Each structure stands twice: as structure tokens, then as C-alpha cells.
């Protein structure tokens, strides 16, 4: 097993991501995203389990169905996220950072970490749907385009995190 | 160069779709390289022990913003044809608050949770599962939330549209703020050491 | 902070601050309104003809009428684009755009769309195809014309012949309305002065029919 390499300088990683985002603007006329892909998957699952009629008639899932058909693989964001997974994996692989494990703070155990991860994920999923995006779609993509709502999201997200940090201290410190 | 290629017809819709995973690959690659696949690193942002999230996010934003602005100025990219997310003041503010709370507790965001999971971290997978559940919960509750969800819509507007200043001024202001933020981050890190 | 960081920061600072000084103004609705009122959004058919004859490379003439009408007859060098296509179609930044439709509604709307998109040099023919036909293709001179009018007509004849039109030099005064030669584009409508067809569309069809019957 390779020894884990040091991380890339954050500014260089940021410039790299910025250029990737720019290429998305240039190629596809849109930016990056992540939470939208999750929403697509949920909509497609809903259609699969409860039928496309139900999914197409429900206003929450209808936007993710094209012509009444749930086709997550026809969704740019889903395809992009598949790429993210592949890129994340290969980068970790070559850097010796692939490892089966659970990252958690020193004061809690793995199980508590997993509960917190699921709980945090639920709240994030809900929040991202409300905000029509997440850090990739709203903060990065919309922020670089100076979208007003995106900057509102950035401010709210960071303010909330910093304000609640003392309460979550045990998770991480 | 007539960009965005997908909008000007230089690239067909299926070509644009094929490029999605390639662009995503590069995104995931750099996220992992920068260490954003590690929840402890990400959460450190909120305790001022590890400012990687801020540095990566804002240098990415700055790069893309400057790149898009100047490509547009030189007529190489038509920004008017690039999709600008619509603004919904209240839902995005509340959504941001919720998202920030979830981000703090889970230590990952949607994109980085996939990177973490791809690196073998089970907590990344747990966040992914949680998010799918959260989206599902939202869909179930949509009937009650719909009115709020659609409220305070301003359309696809930029900060500079609202302020009535040229886009270039907004670009300059964000640049100054971001660079100032980086300087502040450096100072915070020196103090913590 | 390493030299790489410093370099990146300096580049960002330069690009960012230069953006504030960059000359492309964002669209100010008040400016658009002022252009509309002062009629800087128009171009007259003879001016357009002049530019086409000069083979102005930055000129893009766009026909907003239905495709069938375009195929029958269009202003030479014009391309066809309905409004929805026009809204998304990219143009070079320095392009000089001239829009025309059958009357002025669609071309005026197209003007607003393109100006909102940031195109700087956009104009439209106030009376669309009819103006082209009545002032360039078939310019008219009254039998009791003044010297000034004869001079204008002489210029118009040159244009008309260039485009294969037919100057009409012995029109009754009633069919050459006041201001036809001297007023800004569109302030008097040749269509309303014409004794024959009652609508602009009919007038165009009649004129086009006549032109086609004449052959190339």
C-alpha cells in the first residue's frame, strides 16, 4: 500500500477547479453541480417504485422527468457526478489515500460519527432542495456568475456553520 | 471561438452530455487532491483550524469568475447564454442555513461526500444516504412547502443587476474580498500555530 | 506565502481591478429609452442600402418575417431568423446589426432583445420590408417635384438600379407624401399615402408581385 501523499496546495486545487468550472461554462453553457444529481436519482427511484404517473404528476419530482420519463443518465448532472466519483477514486488511488475507514473527531466513536453523517446529510439534502443547489451548484457556479441568490446561499451557509460550530464541538474536537 | 459551444451549436447535445463525466472527473480529481474528501479537514473550517474549504472554494470561484468575465469581454464566450441560477431570496437563505448546519454536522457536502465515498470512507457513504433521504423527505413535504419554495422570486439576477452597477465592478469587488479573505486566512493560521 | 501564491494573487488582483475599468457598459434601461426616443434605434432604408452597396463587412441584416416570405424576396445579404432564434443567436461583439420585419413590431422587439443582451450596434427599419420596397427598390418622384427632391431622387435612382429596382419618376403628388424625402425614417408612412392597397401587408404583396413579374 502506497504511503499517502501530501495534499495539493489548496490554492492550486482551487484554480484547477475554477478552470474546470470555466470549461463547463464554455462547453455546456452551465456550471457544475451535485445536489441536483441526487434529486434526479430520487425522482427516478420514485418513478421506478411508484410508477411514472405518480412521479410525473408530483410537482416535486416532475421537473426531473423528461417527457414523462425518468432518465437519470440523460441528466447532465448525474453524468457529471459519475465523473466526480471516478475522478475522486483515481486521485485517491494514485495518491495512496484509498482506505476503508470512517473519518471522525477524536471525542466520538465511529458509530456516533455515522449517525451524525446521516443526520447531517438529511438536513443538507433538504436544504439543498430548498436552495436549488449546494456548494457546487450555487456557491461555486452561481457565485462565480455573481448570482444574487447564490451569494445569499453562501452567506447563509457559512454564517450558519460558524454560528452552530460551538454546539457541534464534540463531533470534531 | 463561439462559446458556450453547446448553446451556439458548435457542439451537439449528445457531445455535451459525453463531456459531462469528463468535466466531472476533473472536478472530483481536484477535490480529492485538495483534501476535500476528508470530513475532518472540511469541518476544521468551522473551527478555524483548517481553512482549506475557504481557500479552495474561493480561489475556484475567483478563477472561474475572472475567466468567464474576460472571455466574455473579448467576445469568446457569450455570458448571456450561460445558465444563471434564479434567485429566490427566502428559500435560498433558509436553505443555506439548513445546508450549513448539515455541512457542519456531517463534515461533507454533496460533491465531496461522493469523493469521500469513492476513497473508501463509509462516513461519506452515510452522508450520501442521508442526503438522498433528505431529498426524499423534501419531496414528501413539498405540498406544504411549495408556496414558500416559490416565494420571493427575483428571476435570474446578479448582485450587480440589483445594485445597478456594471458587472465589472462586481467582479472587482469580489476579487478584493476574496484576496482579502486569503490574507485573513493566512493570519488566522499563523495565530493558531 | 510562496511565489506561486504571490503570482496568482497579483494576476487575480490585476484582472479583477481591470474589470472595474473595462469599457463594456452593462445595459441601462434609461439609455435604451433615450435611444428609442431620439430614434437612434432606427436606420433608414436608403442608409441601409448605402451600407450594403459598400459591402460593409460588419453589417448583419436579419429578416424576422416568416420563412416563406423570406424565400420569396428579402433584402440582399439578409439572413433569416425568427425572434426565438434571434434571442439565442450569438453575434460578434463589434457586429452592426440591422433588423427588419413586415412592419415594425417584431423588429422593434428584436432590437430590445439584442440590446438587452449587450449588443451595442443594433438598428431596425422603422417600416420594415415596405420601407425597403418603397424607398429603395421603387423610389418615387412627384411630377411637380422640387429641386431638392430631384437631387434626392437622383441618389435614390442609383441605389434602386443597383438592387434591380425600378425608380418611378412621374408619380402624382398624392402618392408622394409630405416628408417622404426629407423627414426621418417612418415619420410619414408611404403605405398610408398609397391610394391602392389598404394594408401594409397588401402593399408589400402587390409590390413584390410586381417586382417578380418584372423578372430578374
DSSP string for B43-86 = HGGGGTS--HHHHHHHHHHHHHHHHHHHHHHTTSB-GGGS--PP
Tens digit of pLDDT for each residue in B24-48? Answer: 999 999 999 999 999 999 999 999 9
Please report which helix (H) or strand (E) contains residue A24, including its range. Answer: helix A10-28
Tens digit of pLDDT for each residue in C109-150? Answer: 999 998 887 777 899 998 899 899 988 998 888 888 888 888
Please report which helix (H) or strand (E) contains residue B88, including its range. Answer: strand B87-88
Rounded to whole angstroms, how far apart are CA atoms A84 and A92?
12
Q: Over 90: is that where the pLDDT of C94 sits? A: no
Substitution target in A11, A22, A26 with the highest count of C β-carbons within 10 Å is A11
Q: Over 50: is that where the pLDDT of B115 sits? A: yes
pLDDT of residue B6: 82
Q: Over 80: is that where the pLDDT of C204 sits? A: no
The closest alpha carbon to C201, from C101, C67, C86, belongs to C101
Q: Contact A21/B31, CB-based, under 8 Å? A: no
Rounded to whole angstroms, how far apart are CA atoms B75 and B73?
5
For helices B110-118 and A35-50, the axis angle rounded to 10 degrees is: 80
pLDDT of residue A141: 95
For helices C45-53 and C147-162, the axis angle rounded to 10 degrees is: 50
Q: Contact A18/B35, CB-based, under 8 Å? A: no
pLDDT of residue C196: 35
The minimal CB distance from B169 to the residues C15, C20, C88 is found for: C20
Q: Contact B96/A152, CB-based, under 8 Å? A: yes
**CB distance C141 to C169 below 8 Å:** yes
Q: Quote the mean pLDDT of chain C.
A: 81
For range C31-47, the mean pLDDT: 88
Q: Over 50: is that where the pLDDT of C190 sits? A: no
**CB distance B81 to A96 below 8 Å:** no
The minimal CB distance from B175 to the residues C17, C94, C117 is found for: C17
Residue of B nearest to C13 (CA): B175
Residue of C nearest to B170 (CA): C20
pLDDT of residue C193: 40
Rounded to whole angstroms, how far apart are CA atoms B14 and B12?
6
Q: Does A64 touch chain B (CB under 8 A)?
A: no
For range B107-135, the mean pLDDT: 96
Tens digit of pLDDT for each residue in B12-23? Answer: 888 889 999 999
Q: Does A71 touch chain B (CB under 8 A)?
A: no
Whether CATH 3.40.250.10 fits C29-131: yes
Cell 454533496 sits at which residue? Answer: B110
State the pLDDT confidence band at C203, using cuts at 50, 70 and 90.
low
List chain B domain ranges.
5-192
pLDDT of residue C213: 57
Is the interface score ipTM higher than 0.90? yes
pLDDT of residue C93: 60
Rounded to whole angstroms, how far apart are CA atoms B76 and A44?
37
CA atoms within 13 A on the CB side of C160: 22
**CB distance A130 to B138 below 8 Å:** yes
Rounded to whole angstroms, how far apart are CA atoms B73 and C40?
24
Phi, psi of C98 (to 5 degrees): -125, 125
CA dihedral angle for residue B99, residue A105, residue A117, residue B100, rounded to 10 degrees = 0
* Partner chains of A (3+ C-beta pairs under 8 Å): B, C
CATH 3.40.250.10 maps onto chain C at 29-131
Q: Contact C4/A12, CB-based, under 8 Å? A: yes
The minimal CB distance from B75 to the residues C26, C93, C117 is found for: C93
Q: Contact B75/C17, CB-based, under 8 Å? A: no
Question: Alpha helices, DSSP H only, in C22-66?
Answer: 29-37, 45-53
User: In the numeric block, which cell numbers belong to residue A32?
Assistant: 457544475
Tens digit of pLDDT for each residue in C11-38? Answer: 999 999 999 987 555 566 777 888 888 8
User: In the numeric block, which cell numbers belong to residue A19?
Assistant: 478552470
SS3 (DSSP) at A18: helix
Q: Over 60: is that where the pLDDT of C199 sits? A: no
Rounded to whole angstroms, how far apart are CA atoms A24 and A44?
25
**CB distance C115 to C30 below 8 Å:** no
Rounded to whole angstroms, how far apart are CA atoms B113 and B36?
9
The closest alpha carbon to B58, from A31, A8, A148, A10, belongs to A10
Q: Which residues contact residue C25 at a Cβ distance below 8 angstroms, ignoring those fewer than 6 apart?
A: B166, C31
Q: Is the previous residue joined to C109 through a cis bond, with omega within 30 degrees of 0?
A: no
Percent of chain B with pLDDT over 90: 74
The closest alpha carbon to A119, from B36, B38, B103, B41, belongs to B103
Question: What is the pLDDT tens value at each position of chain A, 173 positions in all?
Answer: 567 889 999 999 999 999 999 999 999 988 999 999 999 999 999 998 988 888 888 888 888 887 667 777 778 899 999 999 999 999 999 999 999 999 999 999 999 999 999 999 999 999 999 999 999 999 999 999 999 999 999 999 999 999 999 999 999 99
Highest mean pLDDT among A33-47, B113-127, B148-162: B113-127
Chain centre to alpha carbon of residue C132: 9
C168 DSSP β-pair partners: C140
Q: Does B58 touch chain A (CB under 8 A)?
A: yes
Q: Does B86 touch chain A (CB under 8 A)?
A: yes
Q: Which range, of A109-123, B2-16, C64-78, averages the lowest pLDDT?
A: B2-16
Question: Å from C24 to nearest chain A CA?
Answer: 17
Q: Does A9 touch chain C (CB under 8 A)?
A: yes
Q: Contact C20/B171, CB-based, under 8 Å? A: yes
pLDDT of residue C142: 85
Q: From residue A164, give the alpha-carbon distance in Å to each of B49, B52, B66, B101, B124.
A: 16, 19, 33, 7, 21
pLDDT of residue C206: 67
User: In the numeric block, which cell numbers belong to residue B157?
Assistant: 439576477
Q: From residue C109, give the alpha-carbon distance in Å to each of A30, B16, C93.
A: 27, 31, 20
CA dihedral angle for residue B106, residue B107, residue B111, residue B116, rounded to 10 degrees = -100
Q: Over 80: is that where the pLDDT of B132 sits? A: yes
Q: Which residues contact residue C201 at a Cβ distance below 8 angstroms, ignoring those fewer than 6 apart?
A: C102
Amino acid at each position: 500500500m502506497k504511503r499517502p501523499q501530501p495534499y495539493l496546495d489548496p490554492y492550486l486545487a482551487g484554480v484547477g477547479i475554477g478552470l474546470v468550472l470555466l470549461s463547463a461554462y464554455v462547453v455546456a453553457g452551465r456550471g457544475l453541480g451535485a445536489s441536483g444529481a441526487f434529486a434526479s436519482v430520487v425522482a427516478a427511484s420514485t418513478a421506478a417504485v411508484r410508477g411514472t404517473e405518480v412521479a410525473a404528476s408530483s410537482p416535486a419530482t416532475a421537473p426531473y422527468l423528461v417527457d414523462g420519463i425518468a432518465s437519470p443518465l440523460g441528466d447532465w448532472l448525474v453524468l457529471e457526478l459519475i465523473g466526480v466519483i471516478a475522478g475522486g477514486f483515481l486521485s485517491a488511488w494514485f495518491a495512496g489515500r484509498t482506505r476503508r475507514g470512517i473519518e471522525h473527531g477524536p471525542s466520538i466513536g465511529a458509530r456516533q460519527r455515522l449517525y451524525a453523517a446521516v443526520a447531517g446529510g438529511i438536513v443538507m439534502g433538504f436544504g439543498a432542495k430548498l436552495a436549488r443547489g449546494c456548494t457546487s451548484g450555487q456557491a461555486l457556479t452561481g457565485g462565480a456568475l455573481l448570482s444574487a441568490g447564490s451569494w445569499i446561499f453562501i452567506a447563509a451557509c457559512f454564517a450558519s456553520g460558524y454560528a452552530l460550530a460551538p454546539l457541534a464541538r464534540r463531533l470534531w474536537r | 471561438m463561439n462559446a458556450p459551444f453547446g448553446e451556439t451549436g458548435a457542439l451537439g447535445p449528445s457531445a455535451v452530455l459525453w463531456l459531462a463525466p469528463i468535466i466531472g472527473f476533473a472536478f472530483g480529481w481536484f477535490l480529492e487532491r485538495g483534501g476535500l474528501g476528508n470530513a475532518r479537514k472540511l469541518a476544521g473550517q468551522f473551527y478555524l483550524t483548517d481553512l482549506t474549504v475557504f481557500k479552495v472554494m474561493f480561489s475556484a470561484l475567483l478563477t472561474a469568475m475572472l475567466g468567464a468575465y474576460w472571455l466574455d469581454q473579448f467576445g469568446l464566450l457569450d455570458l448571456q447564454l450561460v445558465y444563471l441560477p434564479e434567485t429566490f431570496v427566502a428559500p435560498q437563505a433558509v436553505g443555506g442555513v439548513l445546508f450549513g448546519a448539515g455541512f457542519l454536522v456531517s463534515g461533507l457536502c454533496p460533491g465531496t461526500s461522493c469523493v469521500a465515498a469513492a476513497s473508501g470512507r463509509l462516513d461519506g457513504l452515510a452522508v450520501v444516504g442521508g442526503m438522498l433521504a433528505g431529498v426524499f423527505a423534501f419531496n414528501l413535504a413539498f405540498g406544504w412547502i411549495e408556496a414558500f419554495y416559490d416565494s420571493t422570486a427575483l428571476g435570474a439576477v446578479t448582485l450587480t443587476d440589483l445594485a445597478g452597477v456594471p458587472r465589472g465592478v462586481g467582479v472587482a469587488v469580489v476579487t478584493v474580498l476574496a484576496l482579502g479573505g486569503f490574507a485573513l486566512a493566512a493570519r488566522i493560521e499563523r495565530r493558531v500555530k | 506565502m510562496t511565489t506561486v501564491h504571490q503570482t496568482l494573487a497579483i494576476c487575480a488582483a490585476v484582472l479583477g481591478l481591470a474589470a472595474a475599468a473595462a469599457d463594456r457598459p452593462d445595459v441601462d434601461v434609461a439609455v435604451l429609452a433615450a435611444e428609442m426616443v431620439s430614434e437612434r434605434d432606427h436606420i433608414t432604408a436608403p442608409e441601409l442600402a448605402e451600407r450594403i452597396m459598400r459591402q460593409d463587412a460588419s453589417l448583419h441584416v436579419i429578416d424576422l418575417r416568416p420563412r416563406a416570405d423570406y424565400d420569396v424576396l428579402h433584402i440582399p445579404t439578409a439572413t433569416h431568423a425568427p425572434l426565438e432564434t434571434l434571442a439565442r443567436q450569438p453575434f460578434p461583439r463589434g457586429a452592426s446589426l440591422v433588423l427588419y420585419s413586415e412592419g415594425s413590431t417584431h423588429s422593434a422587439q428584436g432590437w430590445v432583445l439584442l440590446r438587452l443582451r449587450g449588443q451595442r450596434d443594433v438598428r431596425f427599419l422603422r417600416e420594415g420590408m415596405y420601407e425597403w420596397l418603397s424607398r429603395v427598390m421603387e423610389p418615387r418622384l412627384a411630377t411637380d417635384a422640387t429641386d431638392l427632391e430631384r437631387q434626392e431622387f437622383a441618389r435614390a435612382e442609383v441605389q434602386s438600379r443597383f438592387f434591380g429596382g425600378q425608380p418611378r419618376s412621374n408619380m402624382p403628388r398624392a402618392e408622394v407624401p409630405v416628408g417622404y424625402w426629407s423627414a426621418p425614417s417612418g415619420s410619414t408612412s408611404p403605405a398610408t399615402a398609397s391610394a391602392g392597397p389598404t394594408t401594409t401587408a397588401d402593399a408589400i404583396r402587390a409590390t413584390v408581385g410586381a417586382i417578380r413579374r418584372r423578372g430578374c
